[in-house]
Structures are given as C-alpha cells and as structure tokens.
Amino acid sequence: MASINLIEAFQDFKEAENIDRPTMMKVVEDVFKTLLRKKYTSDDNFDVIVNAEKGDLEIIRRRMIVEDGQVEDPLAQVAYSDAVKIEPDFEVGEELYEEIDLLDFGRRAILAAKQTLASRISDLKKNVLAKKYGDRVGDIISAEVYQVWKKEILLLDEEGNELILPKSEQIPQDYFKKGENIRAVVKKVDMKNNSPVIILSRTSPDFLAKLLEIEVPEIFDGLIVIKKIVRDPGERAKVAVESFDDRIDPVGACVGMKGSRIHGIVRELKNENIDVINWTSNIQLLIQRSLTPAKITSMELDNEGKHANVYLKPDQVSLAIGRRGVNIKLATELTGYELDVYRDKEGEEEDEFDIDLEEFSDEIETWIIDELKRVGCDTGRSVLNLTPEELERRTDLEKETIADVRRILKEEFEKE
C-alpha cells in the first residue's frame, strides 16, 4: 500500500491535547490537497484518507470509466481499455478507485508537505494556547518556576506551556527559586513574533480579588460583592465590600473568625496590610472609612471639585497619612477624592501639639519606639508626661536612652 509515514507529525497533534481530531484531519487533508492541486491542477476527484492512529494516510483517485476515445476530462474520466488493465471485471459506467503512490509526487514535494504540516500544527498550538489563556485572563493559576532572570521569571504550567512573570508584576518582597510553585493571576496575552506571550501578575488588584473569592465562600456565591480594590503591593491594600444580604456582615465575613480568612491572603501577599471596609454611596462616610485605621474629627467636602479637607487629632495624623504616604494615597484612589489632612485646631491645647512617635523614626530607633508603645506611649506628649524614673521602671530602656528620647521630643515641641 502506498503511504507516507507521518507519525512524528501526528505525535505533535497528540501532545497538543486541545486540538480535536476533526481539526487535525482537516489540516492534514488541506495540506495534501494543496499538493494534489500543484500536480493535477484540481483536487475534485481525490479523497485524502487519514489514519490518525497509525500515523499514515492514503490518497484515492476517483474516475468514471468511459468508452475508448470518449475521454473528455482526463482528471475525471478513464478509457475502458486502461481500466481493464487494472481490474479485468470493470465495465463502462462504473467508477474506478485507484490509490496514488505518494512517491510519485517526488521527494521535494513530500518534504515540503511535511514542513507545511508541521508549520500548520505549530500555528494551531499557538492559537489554542492564546485562546486558552485569553479566556482565563483574571483567573488565578499555579505554575512552577523554571528560570529566574533579572527582569522576569519564566514559569511552566502543568502542560509545559511557558508563562512570564515580569519584575514589575512581582511584589517587592517576592523571592522565588527554581522548582518552586507560585500563584499569580493571568493579566494579559500579548502576541510577539506571531507567538502568544502569557503575562502573569501578583501586583494586580485582580490577584487579591481572586484570593478573597477563594477564601470567602460568600464572595464566590455572590452574597458579598467586591466594589473596589486599591493596592500598594507588599505594603497595604484597601478592599471595599458590600453585602446583598442584610444578615451578613461583609467585613466580618472577609476577615473571618480571629482573622482566619484574611491571614492566609496576607501571607501570600508577603505581609501586605489589608483594610476591609464597608462600601457606601455616602462619600463622607466612605472617606472616613477609607482612612482607617485613623479616626477623623471633622471634614470639609467639595463634591464639585472632588476634594476633601480632613481634620484629625494630632496623634491620628500620621496614621491617616501612613508610612511613605501609602494610606492617604490608597484612600484617594478608593474614593476618587483628593484628600488633604490637617491637625484639628479645636480641643485642648496639649492635644493640639501632640505628635505620633512614628514621626520621630528618623531620630529615634524603631526598637525604642516599639518599647515605648508597649507601655502605652504612642505620642510624644504621652512620653513626656511620664517621669524619667517612671519610664525606666516600666520599660527596658536605660537612663541615657530615656534622656536622649526626652531631649529629642522636647526640642520638637519647643519648635512648635
């Protein structure tokens, strides 16, 4: 039987499991019908029979048997005298089925057909991959780290497809080693040199949204909806949620008993602080909630200019602003309002000049501030209100350290 072995080509098809058999058969048929058109100018009277299991194919030529001298179309008809040479029992009016020996096409034509087939298979694989991940944009996937470079990480999914996690899409504290499994969200599918490039992200708000959906069944079931997420990856995130069921507390459901639901997400995001707040259409209340953990005293709102002046007690100002201004930046993104923070002028004189200890972090070491906070001294005024002897007795700080701290704080209040 004249045939051409295509086991390698069919093996490529089998590896690309998402390419269905009808598509495979159609591609092979198209490739060899092109070969037939080049040799015979038409493929109308030829059948390409593909055997996917064995990895071979046959080409059958169909012609009608006519009287000698009556052949008008050599492609579709054959003279009776030529037909009986093949099979003596043939009669005029019957169809002659003849198998074509593919070697008759010549080695070059067969090689070209194989190359075309391989190219078509490669294109199909690319299309299948692009569609697969195009449909999964916004979904979390798990993949294995294959190669770590300076600007990006190459990962492999369970099917061996290559995925890219750029440095810009990694949390600053992320550190991965080859062979490690990591989770990320599919951000987009780019086409580069006609090949799909799947870009993953761990900094996208979608990543946090999907992690919440996994951990909080009420979000997955649609009882709680995430209205908006803003993030400073690895530092802080704010999530506004709303419940469609009055019996469900959306914030409590997301945080879980003793933080059980949120802790896993915080670990995944490298200890990123996550503030979950109740969404409201009342913009004043939304601004108040968005500046958590700070507590607002009063507010001046300009709805037309989308601007708000927020007044807080002195010890709350640094909390509202946050480290490196992250808290107020995220609150601005969440609410859509430009926020300016001021110390509240009303109230007792000593409150007016109180300052959060965190504002002295450039002069006082962090461990000292933490030790003072441990005994309830969160502000400069609260430290100065205690005697050096009281501070020495209540903390593990030495006399010289306490003296230095009090000197720094006094100098700052004298400037005020």
- Contact (CB, 8 A) for 236 and 275: yes
The pLDDT, as a whole number, for residue 347 is 47
Over residues 108-136, the mean pLDDT reads 81
Pick the range with the lowest mean pLDDT from 152-161, 239-248, 369-378.
Answer: 369-378
Residue 121 exposed, middle or buried by CB count within 10 Å (0-12, 13-18, 19+) = buried
Q: Which residues pair with 277 in a beta bridge?
A: 240
- Contact (CB, 8 A) for 336 and 290: no
CATH 2.40.50.140 is the classification of domain 138-201: yes
- What residues does each domain of the chain span? 4-131, 138-201, 204-279, 353-415
- The 8-class DSSP code of residue 94 comes to P
The pLDDT, as a whole number, for residue 10 is 52
Give percent of the chain with pLDDT exceeding 90.
Answer: 39
What confidence tens digit (pLDDT) does each residue in 343-380 have? 876 544 444 557 788 778 778 888 888 888 877 788 88
Over residues 170-195, the mean pLDDT reads 92
What average pLDDT does the structure give for the chain?
Answer: 84
Pick the range with the lowest mean pLDDT from 32-36, 51-55, 92-96.
Answer: 51-55
By three-state DSSP, how is residue 175 classified?
coil
CATH superfamily of this structure's domain 4-131 = NusA, N-terminal domain (3.30.1480.10)
Residue 114 CA, chain-centre distance (Å), reads 37
> For the structural domain made of 353-415, what CATH number should be given?
1.10.150
- Contact (CB, 8 A) for 240 and 177: no
CATH superfamily of this structure's domain 204-279 = K homology (KH) domain (3.30.300.20)
Residue in 241, 238, 295 with CA at minimum distance from that of residue 272: 238
**pLDDT range class, residue 7, cuts 50, 70, 90:** very low
